[in-house]
Amino acid sequence: MHDMKLRNQTRLSEFSLLGLSENPTLHPLVFGLFFSMYLVTVSGNLLIILGILSDSHLHTPMYFFLANLSLVDVCFTSTTIPKMLVNIQTESKVISYAGCITQMFFFIIFAGLDDFLLVVMAYDRFVAICHPLRYTVIMTPWLCVQLVLLCWVIGVLHALLNSLLVLRLSFCTHLEIPHFFCELNQVIHRACSDTFLNDLIMNFTALLLGGGPLSGILYSYFKIISFIRAISSAHGKYKAFSTCASHFLTISLFYGTSLGVYLSASAAPRSASTAAASVMYTVVTPMLNPFIYSLRNTDMKKAMKRLFIHK
């Protein structure tokens, strides 16, 4: 009977997303800022996808992965920002239990996909620079599709595991989350039942799926830098490094901001500063990616010009 009562409470419970600021006078400013950032993110990433699709010169593994990264970035920001904007506009902080779990599930998928695609792109750059003559033999279209599918499978399984474990928790009352979206760690720590298993799995998967890809990226770049240093001509060195400069910038942004969030969350798990730090990797990084790839890349610039001229 008691278990049934708890389950009913779990189903009925709502969460309050406190957002980035509880000061109502700042809400129009926050709304304007996030709405414009969201528009820039979506339009910038969709332009990259359109540019790649419309230009046959860009039908290569590197741009295939970039198109996938842009698509994931659009989905990534779309899981959190629209709900936040609606809450500000309607002056409501409420998100339903089902809505919270759904948002958390998709957020985990797309955050993981961002991470995994960056590793796949690092491997692609490693093959392109260190084994240029064998590049087309190694990076076949079928392998590229398989790598992206693998990223999706791992991402979905990881999200399913953590989300299903949250479903077994009991939430007793109306709960406040000091964040602008349902973040896994915040949701777990608002449960009134034992969260040991959730914490264990969350930390283990974070270490495995965060540390593993990072190790792969570092290994790829160690090999790339060693190879570039061995090139005798300055022009050759510049040409080799310029092919992975955009990817290197994106990785630095993604891991730098994610690490910042992790450290701020460890220092003050219930603090609003964690929410502010999260803005960097949930909004700013996906917004900057199109600029990084289009401004530093002559092929992308040409594709954009052709795209607009055709229009």
Model confidence at 293, pLDDT cuts 50, 70, 90, reads: confident
CB 96 within 8 A of CB 10: no
Find out if CATH 2.40.160.20 is the number for domain 2-310: no
Please list the residues that pair with 95 across neighbouring strands. 15
pLDDT of residue 4 exceeding 50, the answer is no
**CB-based burial, 268-307: b 16+ in 10 Å, e otherwise:** eeeebebbebbbbbbbebbbbbbebbbeebebbeebbeeb
Q: Dump pLDDT digits (tens) for 220-252.
A: 989 988 888 887 777 777 777 777 778 888 888
- Say if strands 175-177 and 94-96 run parallel, antiparallel, or are unpaired: unpaired
Query: How much is the average pLDDT of 288-299?
Result: 75
pLDDT of residue 274 exceeding 70, the answer is no
pLDDT for residue 72 = 94
Look at residues 290, 310, 257, 240 and name the one whose alpha carbon lies nearest to residue 74: 290
Gap between the Cα atoms of 266 and 257, Å rounded: 14
Work out the burial of residue 101: count CB atoms within 10 Å of its CB; fewer than 13 is exposed, 13-18 middle, 19 or more buried. Answer: middle
DSSP per residue over 122-187, as a string? HHHHHHHHHSGGGHHHHS-HHHHHHHHHHHHHHHHHHHHHHHHHHHTS---S-EEESSSS--HHHH
Phi-psi map region of 91: left, alpha, beta (phi>0 left; psi -120 to 50 alpha): left
pTM of the model: 0.86
Please list the residues that pair with 15 across neighbouring strands. 95, 175
pLDDT for residue 5 = 46
pLDDT for residue 272 = 58
Say how many C-beta atoms besides its own lie within 10 A of residue 90's C-beta.
Answer: 9
Higher confidence at residue 268 or residue 46? 46
Which two tokens mark 272? 């609003």
Higher confidence at residue 296 or residue 75? 75
CB 19 within 8 A of CB 93: yes
Ramachandran angles phi, psi of 14, nearest 5°: -120, 160
Work out the burial of residue 16: count CB atoms within 10 Å of its CB; fewer than 13 is exposed, 13-18 middle, 19 or more buried. Answer: middle
pLDDT for residue 9 = 46
pLDDT of residue 157 exceeding 90, the answer is yes
pLDDT of residue 267 exceeding 50, the answer is yes
Query: How much is the average pLDDT of 191-199?
Result: 84
Q: Dump pLDDT digits (tens) for 69-125.
A: 999 999 999 999 998 888 888 888 888 888 889 999 999 999 999 989 999 999 998
pLDDT of residue 62 exceeding 70, the answer is yes
